[in-house]
Chains A and B, each alone.
Chain A
Amino acid sequence: MSFKKTARTLPRVGDGPFFRRALIGIVLTLGALLILAPLLIIGVEAFSKGWQVYRDTILHPDTRHAIMLTVLAALIAVPVNTAFGVAAAWAITKFDFRGKGFLLVVIEIPFSVSPIVAGVAYLFVYGLQGLFGPTLDAYGIKILFAIPGIILASMFVTAPFVARELIPLMQAQGRDLEEAATSLGASGWRTFFSVTLPNIKWALLYGVVLCNARVMGEFGAVSVVSGNIRGQTNTLPLHIELLYHDYQAAGAFASASILALIAVFTIIAKVALERQGAGRVRPAANPAENAS
């Protein structure tokens, strides 16, 4: 009996040279057309009218205000959502209570709802014809078409990011460490800061980075509630759209380049964090290797 000599690896898709080249070709072409080309265009178009125009666009009061507003939204929404996410993940994974399943579903809602629907919903809750609108108006509190509305909409859309990142990890870690800490006499806060937090810090940072990227780039929900008042309620993404519709393509691309830059930094931070083990569930810290 004789055996045909073959490579000592498992057979896989794309072993044939023609097929392999075709697959690689498809990936490269699509990658270039769909991802790389648009990014390059942003850079090229932003500087198409020269460095001076780029600088003027960026330094224009409206652009500066849009940047400021976007940063402000992130500065408020990200810490609030971080606190919410950590609290929710801690409660869900470390304790048993009624309505736990319901809370899990509620956390998921912003992911499954289109941002524009969220924005419209906010109109009906806080708008003048809405649920609380007249009352709020009576007290002179303006939420819609103002900064609070923008921040609320951003917070809604990004609420699940941190919790979603933490829940699977904390579930895999179990409750033993917290129980051990409490049995040794640690208070709840002490247990959280000395035991829980150090073991979730990379996943937490990862969630914060993703949350921040989404807050800064959010368009749909914010666009509905902000009212697009130039220099007042325009965030950076809205500002870009406005410039573009004003036929100021170079200006739009210049502003877009800032968002693109933030995206690049996000990716770098994400990769760096993934190297630290965030973003995936690690096997239990104390694997039972001598299992009998």
Chain B
Amino acid sequence: MKIRLDHVVKTFQTFRAVKDVSLEIESGELVALLGPSGSGKTTILRMVAGLEFADGGHIYFGDQDATDIPVRDRGVGFVFQHYALFPHMTVAQNIAFGMEVSKVKRDKAAIQTRVAELLHLVRLEGLGERFPAQISGGQRQRVALARALAVDPKVLLLDEPFGALDANVRRELRRWLREIHTKLGITTLFVTHDQEEALDLADRVVILKDGHIVQQGTPEEVCREPKSAFVMKFLGDANMLPAEVRDGRAHVDGAVIEVSGIADGKAELYARPVDLDWAASGPGIPASIARVMDRPGGRRVIATTGSGVPLELDLEPERAVKAGDTGYVTLRRATVFAA
């Protein structure tokens, strides 16, 4: 089912949480709403679910205007960050709940068959008689997903689904959710503040800031062509160097980089740690190494430029550098934004 948000606005008392957001999610797509806390991403998700109502604009499910349809009749599956499993019901009863309260009557045997199917899908066979308190966090979130899927929702909505889990379980569940999505092809929208999770999982990432969409696109598009300094910084570690643009070239402390589409004047140059390299001799930005941090995949070097700007560089594990070395930082690639 295709979802379309058309100039949606939401205000809480005096705080405008969502300001004029328009967004389309194609049928079968898996889309991440990514943003820092307070960016309005959860509010958007809750409005799509019908747990909050928009103050302005419309939300369409397919061709139907769903703006004022209450959550009960909207046919969405919602997965909460803290699972929201019913603690007094077993896993199987939790999964069966939606089918039991549904206006579509099913007989007991049909419900049981469906519960067994879903337990198989989320790989929790044999845990049906346990209570939520007796299973792990990762298992609980899988039960929550099975419960949401039980009512054959048109849309699956997940609010920070892995936020309460530890890193390893998180990575495993991420891959597993992707598999389930591929298998079922259900239109899925999820909220996260973890850029890695969004990039790993989603077909398309929608980046939000202060209630606005600042950029959307495939993970490749947003990573390779960030449209603003905010997106650049939010997606990962980024170094910023003040630059001066003259005649299509950005000048930074002795380094020069070709840029296009930026007017002459002050600018900001952004580069990821892997975009920077270290050389003993020029040309480059003169700098001295303040600290070296070793990591499994390489060496993270903190260097300070001649004008006092701290930079982080990722170098290969074999590189022999140490604190106190002086040399030159070179740019492999960089993105320049007008300041």
Contact = CB atoms under 8 A, between A and B. Distances in A.
B10 interface: no
B211 interface: no
A285 B102 CA distance: 25
A285 B136 CA distance: 13
B318 interface: no
A291 B71 CA distance: 29
Nearest to A291: B164
Interface residues of B, number: 41
Contact of A292 (B50, B136, B147, B164): B164
Contact of A290 (B74, B76, B97, B165): B165
B84 A185 contact: no
Contacts, number: 92
A179 B80 contact: yes
Nearest to B46: A179
Interface in A161-200: 176-177, 179-187, 190, 194-195, 198-199
Contact of B78 (A179, A186, A286): A179
A179 to B, nearest CB: 6
Interface string A277-292: 0000000111011111
A186 B83 CA distance: 17
B319 interface: no
B170 A185 contact: no
Contact of B84 (A180, A186, A194, A292): A180
Interface in B119-167: 132-133, 136-138, 140, 147-148, 150-151, 163-167
A182 B49 CA distance: 11
A187 B84 contact: no
Nearest to B131: A285
B320 interface: no
B83 A286 contact: yes
B84 A177 contact: yes
B183 interface: no
Contact of B132 (A186, A187, A286, A290): A286
Contacts of A291: 164, 166
Interface stretch (B61-69, B85-93, B240-248, B307-315): B85-93
A283 to B, nearest CB: 11
A284 B151 contact: no
Given A183-B77, A185-B72, A289 B137 contact: yes
Given A179-B84, A284-B82, A186 B164 contact: no
B98 interface: yes
B177 to A, nearest CB: 16
B75 to A, nearest CB: 8
B169 interface: yes
Given A180-B78, A185-B151, A286 B87 contact: yes
The winner among A185, A190, A198, A284 for most chain B CB atoms within 10 A is: A185
Nearest to B76: A183
A176 B80 contact: yes
A177 B83 CA distance: 9
B188 to A, nearest CB: 15
B51 interface: yes
Interface string B50-63: 11000000000000
Contacts of A186: 72, 97-98, 101
Contacts of A195: 86
A286 B147 contact: no
Contacts of B77: 183
Interface string A257-292: 000000000000000000000000000111011111
Given A187-B72, A288-B164, A177 B138 contact: no
B256 to A, nearest CB: 43
A291 B167 CA distance: 9
Contacts of B70: 182
Nearest to B93: A194
A98 to B, nearest CB: 11
Nearest to B74: A183
A176 B83 CA distance: 8
Nearest to B150: A184
Contacts of A179: 51, 71, 78, 80, 84
A290 B166 contact: yes
A254 B49 CA distance: 63
B157 to A, nearest CB: 9
A290 B164 contact: yes
Contacts of B50: 183
Contacts of A187: 72, 101
Contacts of B147: 180, 184
Contacts of A190: 101
Given A179-B78, A290-B166, A292-B163, A185 B87 contact: no
Which are the 3 A-B pairs with shortest beta-carbon distances? A184-B98, A285-B87, A176-B84
Interface of A: 176-177, 179-187, 190, 194-195, 198-199, 284-286, 288-292
5 contacts: A180-B80, A182-B72, A183-B51, A284-B82, A286-B132
Given A176-B80, A194-B97, A288-B137, 11 more contacts: A183-B50, A183-B51, A183-B71, A184-B150, A185-B72, A185-B103, A186-B72, A187-B72, A198-B88, A286-B133, A291-B166
Interface of B: 49-51, 70-74, 76-78, 80, 82-88, 97-98, 101-103, 132-133, 136-138, 140, 147-148, 150-151, 163-167, 169-170
